[in-house]
Chain A
């Protein structure tokens, strides 16, 4: 491994002193009263804090380089900035300071927001595919595969019914199937995606492994240390938006378990 890597390690994602800040309107006092809103407007021109715009500094100066062929796990307690970091790498959240350089277009595995509950499963497969940037031909070619993978039609012809009639498990399975239908250069997986019954979970884990093989670099957010150990060779540990540790899986996880165990 190392010998191959030494000369020809090709970076796919470079994060350079990355800062991400969310701005939340009217969160200062916690009550959204009219007078509070008015005073916020009057104080316009003064700094954000005085106007009641609260800043949430979600990622603070993270730097790392990811290389082709790496599977990188992201760990850290809730709210430590893992998902935010993924979105910034995908270019979906603008950086406050610093930059992310990427090779090609990294994609998040997730399509939920593009789907509409009032449409049939069939139309959602097409809409979701188009939203991810697939062509109509690609979708047509993959359509049956997506439906079969989701298992929606195992209990009757559900794919022609509106998605609002699906059980939550069925809807989640269809969403995952659509999202996983595309091949990616840099793939980012947020753990919340692994849903459905036991059988479907096994199928989706298998699909994620396939996607990993096709993708250049994979990022995986998970709170499950076992799945990190199974899939990743390198781990980034985020805490309060800062990169606390970056190294081989075992080393970082040992420290992390010590940290969370106490």
Chain B
């Protein structure tokens, strides 16, 4: 019996039906079918993404755990890696190049370690973001979920990584005479703003990296330039003394420098408000909101195109 229904070949039944003569689009509209793989509206997209929050969190935690699962010391490396990193920078910039320039030992070491950790947070979020789509094409081509889940998840992974580093950072701060005080509470808003900024950047580079995977090769150089221009291992303020005021200002509103300065201000006893650029919280908020919202919209605009190529 069912043979009769399909005899007509492609898409047309030989039995008179109210659907005859309709084009595909009209037929779809009549029965409420929607275009597969079409980009949802922005509000709907945010809703879908929120619906996937458990996946985003689980994926970031899984990546974090998988990272060191074959090492003998296991998850201890979460803390040991940032510590070794800080030590290498101290060796080169503290002892060999003497970049401390007028800062006491007790200020310079926490200054350096804070700078390294905070910048690494942004740096690794970007590096993970570039490969978020291009490195997970298998996943993108097999399952359906808002693609922004991936870059957001990678940024979240880096945030968790940073929280491990914070343990080291607190120990270093206390070890060099900066004891917990009320100003340490400022760490929380500073981190929230930086996380928003990082996520926005990860979304932007994720879209760019999905189209041009070569970006992953280029990115380390861009990031290294950015690092040296942001005053990770030296105080921009002292280094640039005597240069025109606007050069100093321009370098100080650089988001990486802003987030590092905020963290140092919160943590280190002798790193006072005089070292911060004016309106520093406003600048931090501006970068976080503009980059996050802009990055999200920019990523969403290409939602239906991820997975090609």
Contact = CB atoms under 8 A, between A and B. Distances in A.
A141 B286 CA distance: 44
Nearest to A115: B62
A245 B6 CA distance: 11
Given A14-B24, A16-B25, A94-B308, A127 B145 contact: no
Contact of A251 (B3, B140, B144, B309): B3
B140 A92 contact: yes
A132 B69 contact: no
Interface in A1-53: 1-2, 5-7, 9-17, 22-25
Contacts of A117: 66
A110 interface: yes
Among B38, B139, B308, the most chain A Cβ lie within 10 Å of the Cβ of B308
Interface residues of B, number: 53
A118 B66 CA distance: 5
Interface stretch (A74-82, A96-104, A150-158, A202-210): A96-104
Nearest to A12: B33
B59 A133 contact: no
Q: Which of B3, B6, B140 has the most CB of A within 10 A?
A: B6
A5 B13 CA distance: 10
Contact of A93 (B9, B51, B141): B141
B307 interface: yes
A14 B28 contact: yes
B95 interface: no
A112 B139 CA distance: 8
Interface residues of A, number: 66
B143 interface: yes
Interface string B282-309: 0000000000000000000000110111
A253 interface: no
Contacts, number: 181
Given A63-B11, A116-B62, A100 B145 contact: no
A123 B58 CA distance: 9
Interface in A116-135: 116-119, 123, 126-127, 130-133, 135
Contacts of A234: 2, 6
Interface in A147-165: 162
Interface of A: 1-2, 5-7, 9-17, 22-25, 63-65, 87-95, 99-103, 105-108, 110-114, 116-119, 123, 126-127, 130-133, 135-136, 162, 233-234, 243, 245-248, 251
Given A11-B28, A93-B37, A133-B145, 15 more contacts: A1-B1, A2-B4, A7-B17, A9-B17, A11-B31, A23-B309, A91-B36, A101-B35, A101-B36, A102-B33, A105-B144, A111-B142, A130-B58, A133-B55, A248-B3
15 contacts: A23-B308, A91-B36, A93-B307, A94-B305, A100-B37, A101-B36, A102-B34, A116-B63, A119-B69, A123-B62, A123-B65, A133-B55, A246-B6, A247-B3, A248-B2
Interface of B: 1-7, 9-11, 13, 15, 17, 19, 23-25, 27-28, 31-38, 51-52, 54-55, 58-59, 62-63, 65-66, 69-70, 136, 138-145, 304-305, 307-309
